[in-house]
Amino acid sequence: MFANILILAIEFLINTGILLALLWIMILLQKLDYHFLGLLGSAALASGLDMIPHIGHLLAVPVLYFCIWKVTRSCIFPDAAFTVVIAYALKFCVNLFILGMLMGNLRPSENDGDESAAQAPATETQPVTVAQKSVPDAVTNSAPTADANEAEAIVQQFSIKGITRNADKSSLTLQSGKKTYTIFLGQLASVQTDDGLVSVRFTDLGADSVTLNIKGTPVKCPVPAQ
């Protein structure tokens, strides 16, 4: 309890001192008449009212207007109003300055990172060895051959009926079983075979052959003489 009262008393004295000094400077600059005790009482009364929560500032400002008007015996506007407004504005700036000095430098020091790194325990990084399964050469080499053989077997079911040469818009007529397909250069088509639907892409057109991509495997097919 005593500590709280002491803190409030110190806050009151500091606010009163700052406001008194600023009011005194403003009055001197405007060359107004004043009484020091009246000026001190005005600053103390305004500072005390300003410490009341919520409504304190709303009471302090008009009371200080009235007190300065009476102490200086000047016009309430603009002399008294100008003095109070500027004094309160300067008081706000002084409070921010004092708060900044009390808080100190908030930027992290460049040495903090080095100290943290030095204090952190060193951890050894163990190399990770990934065991690779050896694959027999016969299995490795047989996969592409099987794809190529499968593509060749599918191509045997096709019959190229005609070629239309027109640069990028070239096309071929392909027959598979009883169905005929027209495929343009670069186009992907689903062709019915004995094994079901097969994706066929017409990828290249040469002088005497065409290249078809069957299930990812390119296969060259001769072009029939026209």
Which domains are present in the chain?
Answer: 2-103 (no CATH), 154-222 (2.30.30)
Output the pLDDT for position 110. 58
Q: Which of 97-101, 107-111, 142-146, 221-225 has the lowest mean pLDDT?
A: 142-146
pLDDT at 82 over 80: yes
Sequence-ordered strand ranges (E) for 136-187: 158-164, 171-176, 179-184
Output the pLDDT for position 135. 43
Cβ distance 74 to 65 under 8 Å?
no
Output the pLDDT for position 128. 43
Q: Which of 143-157, 160-174, 195-209 has the lowest mean pLDDT?
A: 143-157
Give dist(CA 70, CA 112) in Å, integer.
Answer: 57
CB atoms within 10 A of CB 138: 7
Output the pLDDT for position 146. 46
Output the pLDDT for position 117. 52
pLDDT at 20 over 50: yes
Ordered DSSP codes for 39-104: HHHHHHHHHHHHTSTTTHHHHHHHHHHHHHHHHHT--IIIIIHHHHHHHHHHHHHHHHHHHHHHH-
Q: Which of 20-29, 105-114, 128-137, 159-168 has the lowest mean pLDDT?
A: 128-137
* Per-residue pLDDT tens over the stretch 96-141: 888 888 776 666 655 555 555 555 554 444 544 444 444 444 444 4
Taking all residues of the chain, what is their mean pLDDT, rounded to a whole number?
Answer: 77
Output the pLDDT for position 125. 47
Compute φ and ψ for 178, nearest 5 degrees.
Answer: -100, 0
- Site of tokens 């027959």: 175
* Per-residue pLDDT tens over the stretch 43-75: 888 888 888 888 888 888 888 888 888 888 878
Output the pLDDT for position 197. 84
